[in-house]
Amino acid sequence: MFEFLAKRLATIVPTLVFVSMLIFGLQQLLPGDPAKILAGEEQDPTVIAYLHRKLHLDEPLPLRYAYWIGGVFKGDLGDSVRTQQPVLQLIAQKLPVTLELALLAMAIALAIGIPAGIVSAAGRGTVWDAAANAFALWGLSTPNFWLGILMILLFSVQLGWLPASGYVSPFEDLVANLAAMIMPAFVLGNAIAAVLMRHTRSAMLQVLSADYVRTARAKGLNERTVVLKHALRNALMPIITLGALELGALLSGAVLTEQVFTIPGFGKLIVDSVFNRDYSVVQGVVLVTATAYITLNLLADLAYFAVSPRLRH
Contacts to another protein by CB under 8 A: 30-34, 36-47, 50-51, 54, 80, 82-85, 90, 93-94, 149, 152-153, 156-157, 160, 163-167, 259-262, 264, 268-269, 272, 275-277
Phi-psi region of 277 (alpha: psi -120 to 50; beta: other; left: phi over 0): left
Q: How far is the CB of 97 from another protein (least distance, A)?
A: 8
Query: In whole angstroms, what is the distance from residue 118 CA to residue 270 CA?
Result: 37
136 vs 128: CA distance, rounded Å: 12
Instruction: Please list, in sequence order, all residues whose beta carbon lies within 8 angstroms of the beta carbon of residue 61, skipping any fewer than 6 positions away.
Output: 24, 25, 28
Residue 272 burial (10 A CB sphere; 0-12, 13-18, 19+): middle
Q: Specify whether the CB–CB gap between 250 and 101 falls below 8 A.
A: yes
Least distance (Å) from another protein to the CB of residue 119? 35
Single-letter amino acid, residue 76: D
CB of 214 to another protein, least distance (A): 54
Least gap, CB of 130 to another protein (angstroms): 35
CA–CA dist 145, 190 (Å, integer)? 12
Taking the least distance from each CB to another protein, the nearer of 206 and 276 is 276
Which residue's CB is nearer to another protein, number 55 or number 132?
Answer: 55
For the CB of residue 174, give the shortest distance to another protein in the complex, in Å: 18
Give whichever of 163 and 243 is closer to another protein, judged by the CB atom. 163
Q: Which one, 234 or 273, has the nearer CB to another protein?
A: 273
Q: Which CB sits closer to another protein, 238 or 264?
A: 264
